[in-house]
């Protein structure tokens, strides 16, 4: 089945000017080729180590995104939920990147929520079965719309938790630290791997591809009983849960408080420190086990890459035998790899993963060992 016949798009599905994906200007194959070309150019010093990309099956390259953070505005007639461009919101209610579940939930809320200013919605956030409505107010607005019928419809869609985030200064920052209210359902859900997650936790949308990247990392690191594993930027503990089954001690570091709570539940027995990795270096240094046969490191940093202090610590103090780093930014990955290579590490393999098909995003798993 060709790409064109597998998905029929209309102008309504793909609104003009939408910056969310590449569908309006290229095919899936062209999009991947463009991303790979940029990665190859950026990581040219290690071209021989660059492997073929790992991609999702064709049927999973559309309608896969079950985690979204979208702007919302009431135009005087209806709610528009989508991507903000300048002062406008481009509605993406029929976007084929989004899963059918996300589209249905968005349509439900767009149709039942009271208009602004009585319901000052600014962001619609969905993390699979958890939905958060971010309100630009310090007070809970009128909730008469949340009827038993609406609750039943949410339940039938597979939604398990509905939150309000009261955020009077919402704008550049999506969430407020306080002001969270669970208005229906339960506060946490469980993904297909049995991992607990919450409304603000991050996870890759194509679980089987995320698991494939962890398979690659685990095969390379090959943790065995007695090895020490450190998992930096550990999220909800998908990697921690693996390493804990293989060895002890295992230590993770994560900034998000909710992700830390989930990681402790998903990887019982692992030590999980909350905070920026660079601010937890004293604890990580104290946790180093000199008698452990090997120290291994897995890292999954944000787009800004590993903090410079962390990269320096890995190179000078920790000195793990092997490292696996999953990066979502080839530019910052190049910076980090250059420093580590200059400190005596060999970049053995660079494996691209197309976690977000038909978008500009590409992640790369870097596998390094100490020379």
pLDDT band of 12, cuts 50, 70, 90: low
3-state secondary structure 113-125: CCCCCCCCEEEEE
DSSP letter at 300?
Answer: -
Angle between helices 148-156 and 100-112 (to 10 degrees): 170
From 234, 262, 295, 328, the catalytic residue:
328
Instruction: Return d(Cα 234, Cα 72) in angstroms, integer.
Output: 31
Length of the chain: 371
d(CA 310, CA 279): 9
Q: Furthest-apart CA pair in the chain: how many Å?
A: 67
Closest CA to 32 of 370, 365, 363: 363
Domains 67-197 and 207-370 equal at CATH topology level: no
Whether 328 is a known active-site residue: answer yes
| CATH class for the region spanning 67-197 | mainly beta
- Output the average pLDDT for the chain: 94
24 annotated as a binding-site residue: no
- The pair of structure tokens assigned to 201 is 């936790």
> For the structural domain made of 207-370, what CATH number should be given?
3.40.50.150
- For the chain, what are the domain ranges? 67-197, 207-370
| pLDDT score recorded for residue 159 | 99
Which residues, including other chains, have CB under 8 Å from residue 106's CB and lie 6 or more apart? 70, 81, 93, 98, 124, 126
For residue 2, name the pLDDT band (cuts at 50, 70, 90).
very low
Residue 11: band (very low, low, confident or very high) from pLDDT cuts 50, 70, 90: very low
Whether 233 has a binding-site annotation, put simply, is yes
Q: Is 124 annotated as a binding residue?
A: no
Q: Is 300 annotated as a binding residue?
A: yes
pLDDT digits (tens, 9 = 90+) for 282-341: 999 999 999 999 999 999 999 999 999 999 999 999 999 999 999 999 999 999 999 999
The dihedral over CA atoms of 56, 48, 366, 216, expressed in degrees to the nearest 10, equals 50
Confidence band, pLDDT 50/70/90 cuts, at residue 23: low
């Amino acid at each position: 089945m060709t790409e064109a016949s597998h998905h029929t798009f209309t102008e309504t599905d793909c609104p003009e000017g939408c910056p969310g994906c590449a569908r309006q200007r290229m095919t899936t194959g062209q999009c991947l080729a463009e991303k790979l070309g940029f990665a190859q150019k950026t990581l040219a010093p290690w071209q021989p180590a660059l492997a073929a990309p790992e991609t999702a099956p064709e049927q999973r390259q559309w309608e896969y995104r079950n985690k979204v953070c979208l702007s919302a505005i009431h135009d005087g007639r209806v709610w528009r939920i989508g991507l903000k461009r300048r002062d406008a919101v481009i509605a993406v209610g029929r976007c084929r990147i989004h899963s059918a579940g996300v589209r249905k939930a968005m349509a439900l809320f767009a149709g039942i929520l009271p208009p602004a200013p009585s319901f000052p919605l600014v962001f619609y956030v969905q993390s699979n079965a958890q939905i958060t409505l971010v309100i630009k107010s310090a007070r809970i607005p009128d909730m008469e719309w949340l009827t038993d019928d609406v609750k039943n419809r949410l339940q039938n869609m597979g939604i398990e938790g509905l939150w309000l985030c009261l955020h009077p200064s919402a704008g550049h920052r999506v969430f407020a630290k306080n002001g969270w209210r669970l208005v229906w359902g339960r506060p946490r859900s469980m993904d297909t791997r049995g991992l607990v997650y919450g409304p603000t936790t991050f996870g890759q949308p194509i679980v089987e591809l995320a698991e494939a990247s962890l398979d690659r990392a685990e095969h390379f690191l090959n943790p065995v009983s007695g090895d020490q594993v450190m998992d930096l930027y550990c999220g909800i503990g998908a990697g921690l849960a693996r390493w804990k089954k293989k060895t002890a001690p295992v230590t993770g570091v994560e900034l998000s408080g909710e992700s830390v709570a989930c990681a402790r539940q998903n990887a019982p027995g692992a030590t999980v420190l909350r905070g920026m990795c660079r601010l937890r270096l004293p604890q990580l240094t104290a946790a180093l086990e000199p008698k452990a046969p090997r120290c291994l490191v897995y890292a999954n940093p944000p787009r800004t890459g590993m903090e410079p202090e962390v990269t320096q610590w890995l190179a000078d103090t920790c000195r793990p035998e092997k490292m696996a780093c999953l990066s979502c930014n080839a530019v910052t990955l190049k910076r980090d790899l250059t420093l580590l290579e200059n400190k005596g590490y060999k970049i053995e393999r660079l494996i691209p993963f197309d976690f977000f098909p038909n978008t500009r995003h590409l992640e790369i798993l870097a596998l390094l060992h100490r020379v």
